[in-house]
Structure 1
Amino acid sequence: MVVGDFALELDTVVIGAGPGGYVAAIRASQMGQKVAIIEREYIGGVCLNVGCIPSKALISAGHKYQDALDSDIFGVTAENVTLDFAKTQDWKDNTVVAKLTGGVKGLLKKNKVEIIEGEAFFNDEHTLRVIHEDGAQTYTFNNAIVATGSRPIEIKGFKFGGRIIDSTGGLNLTEVPKKLVIVGGGVIGAELGGAYANLGAEVIILEGSPQILPTFEKDMVRLVETSFKKKGIKVVTNAMAKEAVDNGEGVTVTYEANGKEEKIDADYVMVTVGRRPNTDDLGLEVAGIEMNDRGYVIVDEQGRTNIKSIFAIGDIVPGAALAHKASYEAKIAAEAISGKPVAVDYIGMPAVAFTDPELATVGYTEKEAKEAGLDVKAVKFPLAGNGRALSLNQTEGFVRLVTTKNDNVLVGAQVAGVSASDVIAELGLAIESGMNAEDIALTIHSHPSLAEAAMDAAELALGLPIHA
């Protein structure tokens, strides 16, 4: 890289190489733009390096361990089952994560995206400066897409360090803790709590709201709560975490619930109460970009900020902090720069919790649909009636469809159970395409498959159930 006070010219520049940034860079290049991407830490962002992907690797390892310990119902018995957690972590880091991040680098190069290592700071609406190991370089640009993601929120009394960790620290422990306290029972806390319980830890989850996984419907969450009880996970709701004291050998967590103060001694406490947008230290205010009082960038339906040449996507704009949301917005922004008449439409945006069992939702819930003024009905098909679920010995859960009463158009769906994260895709496609229950029911599904439950739910919505 050339270093100096003169400015180098860029066409489209993307700041951040996570699932929003790298997708934006590749799509912009595919649209004929000359693209550079700036990354200060690691290609692939939080999701690939210390988030979505490594957490699912640990979840999978926990399932394998539990299967080895207890598969007696299948007539399979194993003796002297052990867990080499160092090997688990090595597989996660050096096989799963390394392969994916290396693949992203390859994709960027294949699409002729210039990779610039360093930290970007806006000087104005068409100029930025990149600080790197060898100094700094100023660039001018025609268009910019900001995709800098988010970071864990640190709460009072729980300063990160030592045995007080965030989700990144939780993914990189060198041993399975004997006892782990998790502050925050949302998706991240519930997923990692289940994973470490499966790996042999005693887990306590402190959640401030009346239920864990508060963004999912109660009948879905009850399935996870039942599973947690079987795993020995203790869940304390309506709990206020007050302080954590790290004594070097362990940590003492103080919390209040039901008007009573309690203390827990554990090996680690992991705080997963939410994430904060990485919009500070970027110079966004210098460029004149408008943000709300929570630090999120205000954008239009194409991801464009109030500055015509600058777009923002992913965790730094309002909405759910989801990797696939960032990737979706990335394509919209990149195509908008090329002049395509595109706009975001979030109705088909799924949300998934990789808990035991998995939970997935897309479109409206029944309550949300009615609040939106739609006349709808909801039907629920139990996985206990699905042959594939029975053969997997995982019959807990259901597929629920929310359809309009007059013409059975699908406007929402929820799946709770094994492989819900995969089954939800068909239902998201149906919502995105404006399909009705008959379209799903007439689609021939392979047998036996978990996806058949979607067909059975559609037949139930039509009043013509075969297996219910």
Structure 2
Amino acid sequence: MAELQTQLLVLGGGPGGYPAAFEAADHGMQVTLVDEGVRPGGVCLNRGCIPSKALLHVAKLINESHESSAIGVTFTPPKIDLAKLREWKNTAVVGKLAGGVAELCRLRGVKLIGARGTFLDANTIELKYPDGKTDTLKFEKAIIATGSSPAIPPAFQVGDPRVMDSTGALELADIPGSLLVVGGGYIGLEMGSFYAALGSKVTMVEWTKELLPGADRDLVRPLQKRLETQFAAIHLNTKVESLSAAKGGITAKLTGEGVAPQQTFDRVLISIGRRPNSTGFGLEATGVAVDEKGFIKVDRQLKTNVNHLYAIGDVAGEPMLAHKATREAKVAVEVILGGPAEFDNIAIPAVVFTDPEIAWCGLTEPEAIAQNREVKVVKFSWAASGRAITLARSEGLTKLIVDPKTERILGVGIVGVGAGEMIAEATLAVETAAVARDLAETIHAHPTLSETIMEAAESVYGQATHSYRPKRG
């Protein structure tokens, strides 16, 4: 056993951990990045954001091949080579990006250690390697970026691989004839969409009254309408009481109005949320405090209650988003270097990569209503967008939430093709306190979907060019 030393330990190599390591190394710190994964990149790169988006690209291709007959182009039914698809996802996508992270570690002088780290005290961590050997590592400061894991209630832990979490669903063991998706959040919607495109009969069960609970209904409505044509069934206000495994499939007991109480499926995907990874690596030995949900408590500088220990990303609180973790990484390192930084971003974009995509940032209309806050809401339908019509996808909507007195952009919501790419402009507008006129008077290229942001902004103080509302009175 060797005793190693480093100036900065970063525990966890995901979208919070490795950017933190890079930022610190770029400023001259001696950095050791510890991650127990086979490859760096964390859940996002290896078992989450990246592979799921690769599969959703495949789903989009399949759906477009089916729908193109409406505009005079007919394809033969696609043939799915699952082994080749799996290899492409694992090697050409995930492997390439993970290899890039490892190479960037080398180029920056970050010491990357593939081992499980367990804190022995607030300045020492034990490293356990895959071969069972161990070392200890002494550090001056540490950033904890251990991420999160799928939450699986005991009632669903039946010990059968046909009951999957998001990681299992991404492994592409087969194309199930029938798939039950438990949970109508973004993970369930994305993975359900993918398997439906491959030919699975997808049944979605959500225990609340709506898909994407808490999201703006104006944004969810076009997506739900489309999914109702792709999924076998969507059951809202419905609960999965239990699961049981048998040779013929996984049987689910359901309670909900108009729902058959017992149904059997080839596979089940549990997508009801995630929990922070704050246990199992000796955090208690450091004295770091966690809250009742298991999140590490941090202040606006990402400091824990132990002065030289920091936490970022999913383990440090919601929203559990990769890009939030990356921004927190930069803030934490700046603080460690002696800067005055704080995490004070007011616009954290969220994207659901379904088809159509949904994206939003800043204040939403439901939040404004809950806060009893006076706002002006303007909407621009993509039925009036030239670009949307050329794509044969005019179901979209762009929505602005504006302060009625100052015309400041408080929030933006978009549903439609490419909404995830469009939300960046909106996020910049909210973050920089732009007013509607800033967006309306910025020249947007034509024909593009981004023009819908400009036209929505025009509606704040007048008429949008391609939309007309009769004057009242």
Shorter-chain TM-score range: over 0.9
Which of 80-89 and 166-175 deviates more?
Answer: 80-89
- 2:31 corresponds to which residue? 35
- 2:277 corresponds to which residue? 278
Q: Which digits, 9 at most, give the CA deviation of each residue in 1:273-330, with x for residues without a partner?
A: 1111111012111110000111110000011100011000111112111111111111
- 1:194 corresponds to which residue? 193
Counterpart CA distance in 1 for 2:248 and 2:462 is: 61
Counterpart CA distance in 1 for 2:65 and 2:84 is: 16
1:138, CA displacement in angstroms? Answer: 1.2
Counterpart CA distance in 2 for 1:263 and 1:371 is: 37
- Whether contact under 8 Å (2:378, 2:401) holds in the other structure is yes
2:113 aligned with 1:116: yes
Q: Which digits, 9 at most, give the CA deviation of each residue in 1:8-44, with x for residues without a partner?
A: 2210010000111111111111122111100111311
2:389 aligned with 1:393: no
- 2:96 corresponds to which residue? 99
**Matched residue SS, 1:170:** helix
Which amino acid counterpart does residue 401 of structure 2 have in structure 1? V
Q: Which digits, 9 at most, give the CA deviation of each residue in 1:354-411, with x for residues without a partner?
A: 1121111100013424655753201000111111111111111211011111121111
Counterpart CA distance in 2 for 1:88 and 1:444 is: 41
Which amino acid counterpart does residue 94 of structure 2 have in structure 1? V
Which of 301-310 and 276-285 deviates more?
Answer: 276-285
2:18 aligned with 1:19: no
Report the TM-score, using the length of structure 2 for normalisation: 0.95
Tell me the percent identity.
39
Alignment of 1:42-441 (within 5 A): 42-132=39-129, 133-159=131-157, 160-258=159-257, 262-369=261-368, 374-441=373-440
- Whether contact under 8 Å (2:176, 2:267) holds in the other structure is yes
Q: Which digits, 9 at most, give the CA deviation of each residue in 1:112-150, with x for residues without a partner?
A: 100011111112211111111252111111110000111
Which amino acid counterpart does residue 21 of structure 1 have in structure 2? G
1:232, CA displacement in angstroms? Answer: 3.4
- Whether contact under 8 Å (2:214, 2:366) holds in the other structure is no
- 2:470 corresponds to which residue? none
- 1:452 corresponds to which residue? 451
Which of 456-465 and 138-147 deviates more?
Answer: 456-465
**Matched residue SS, 2:225:** helix
Cα RMSD for the two superposed structures:
1.5
- 1:9 corresponds to which residue? 5
Which amino acid counterpart does residue 143 of structure 1 have in structure 2? K
Counterpart CA distance in 1 for 2:331 and 2:127 is: 26
Which of 140-149 and 127-136 deviates more?
Answer: 127-136
- Whether contact under 8 Å (2:7, 2:141) holds in the other structure is yes
Counterpart CA distance in 2 for 1:16 and 1:440 is: 39
Counterpart CA distance in 2 for 1:110 and 1:102 is: 12
Going from structure 1 to structure 2, the CA distance change for 1:30 and 1:215 (only over 3 Å counts) comes to farther
Task: Provide the aligned length of Structure 1 versus Structure 2.
Answer: 464
Counterpart CA distance in 2 for 1:375 and 1:232 is: 38
**Matched residue SS, 1:327:** helix
Counterpart CA distance in 1 for 2:423 and 2:457 is: 14
- Whether contact under 8 Å (1:69, 1:78) holds in the other structure is yes
Query: Mind listing any 5+ residue stretches in structure 2 that lack a counterpart?
Result: 468-473
